[in-house]
Amino acid sequence: MKEQVRVLIIGSGPAGYTAAIYTSRANLQPVLYEGIEPGGQLTTTTEVENFPGYPEGVDGNQMMADIRKQAQRFGADIRAGIITSVDLSQRPFRVVVDGSHEIEAESLIVSTGASAKYLGLPSETKFRGQGVSACATCDGFFYRKKEVAVVGGGDTACEEATYLASLCKKVYLIVRKPFLRASKAMQERVFSTPNIEVLFEHNTVEVLGDDLKGVTGALLRKTDGTERTIDISGFFLAIGHHPNTELFKGQLELDEEGYIKVAAPSSKTSVEGVFAAGDVKDPHYRQAITAAASGCVAALDCERFLLK
Ligand code: NDP
């Protein structure tokens, strides 16, 4: 016998947990599957200082544990497990968990998030959270008056480099091509900021560091083969994100980058009864607070849909 669920929430970052708080308070008995990375991207950062309500800042893991607990307080059924397939062709939607457990869901809230792209260097993985970060807005503050590097040549990289330049002594912008891909306005901001040095045609060979201090530098190689080392204590990736939407390809309308399209300002997707919240539908803001807010929107839309 398949399990019947009124609201199934897929994904466990601030968007998913907030949707769980709202739908459980509305007595809709939501079931939430946490997925591959319980707590989402915030669990890979160190301290969160820009989420309202934590005047002293809060550890990313702790904040996710708090929001999770808050949802459970109202009866949200939060489970470990990965959704392995979905069929949105008819209602109730059919969902399979871990390849075997079948669920029929009257409504779905998709909050599977996005993942920052990394270069794939072992040294980069080793120092993740110890100097390597994919979020300057989250972690930049910890590098005040220090030297850091940003990798990437798009709008995010330029925006992050400019932001970091306002806090740090020096910012290297490591760009693999001989030009920036970012908009002209963003490029101008970068070029007119005196403490940003753009290193065109450079790739990172290795992030350098030790167990005690974390990141201490980076070994770079120029396209002409010459190598140089830069001394830095922060290494920021800004080479794009990919939304976690593989499960929904061909079933939900996605944009050209793979983000779920919603009928803004609502959370409604192209399938009635399926709602999207958080980074999975947001390539622009990507903040914990905006994700949480969109989880609330999805929960309210879902509640209205079920009441209809
Ligand atoms: P983009 O895809 O635009 O840029 C990614 C950058 O990373 C490119 O310069 C790319 O290089 C580089 N890159 C990718 N892979 C590697 C790699 N392995 N090694 C080194 N460099 C690499 O992503 P963004 O996150 O910058 O932007 C995403 C979208 O969001 C864009 O549409 C952007 O315009 C928008 N955005 C808008 C903002 C604004 O308007 N304020 C702010 C932030 C983002 P290459 O050019 O060689 O491919």
Set 135, 158, 168, 302: catalytic member: 135
Question: 17: burial class by Cβ within 10 Å (0-12, 13-18, 19+)?
Answer: buried
The phi and psi torsions of 289 (rounded to 5 degrees) equal: -70, -35
* C-alpha span between 54 and 13 (Å, rounded): 18
Best residue for ligand 1 mutational test, from 137, 181, 188 (most atoms within 8 Å of Cβ): 181
* C-alpha span between 54 and 59 (Å, rounded): 10
**Residue 286: C-alpha distances to residues 8, 127, 170, 279 (Å):** 23, 23, 25, 6
* C-alpha span between 99 and 121 (Å, rounded): 31
* C-alpha span between 39 and 47 (Å, rounded): 14
CA of 184 to the centre of ligand 1 (A): 14
Tokens 């030790």 found at: 210
CA of 157 to the centre of ligand 1 (A): 7
Q: Which residues line ligand 1 (CB under 6 A)?
A: 119, 151-157, 159, 176-177, 181, 239-240, 283
* C-alpha span between 4 and 280 (Å, rounded): 25
pLDDT score at 44:
67
Amino acid (one-letter) located at 60: G
CA of 204 to the centre of ligand 1 (A): 16
CA of 132 to the centre of ligand 1 (A): 18
Q: What is the mean pLDDT of each run of 10 residues along the chain (308 residues)?
A: 95 97 98 92 76 91 95 97 97 97 98 94 94 90 96 94 96 98 95 98 98 96 98 96 96 97 98 98 92 98 96
* C-alpha span between 70 and 17 (Å, rounded): 9
pLDDT score at 45:
66
Best residue for ligand 1 mutational test, from 155, 172, 183, 287 (most atoms within 8 Å of Cβ): 155
**Residue 131: C-alpha distances to residues 61, 66, 109, 256 (Å):** 17, 25, 34, 32
Best residue for ligand 1 mutational test, from 151, 183, 237, 239 (most atoms within 8 Å of Cβ): 239
For the chain, strand residue ranges (E) read 3-10, 31-33, 47-48, 58-59, 77-79, 83-87, 93-97, 101-110, 114-116, 132-133, 147-151, 170-174, 196-199, 202-210, 214-222, 227-231, 234-237, 241-243, 274-276
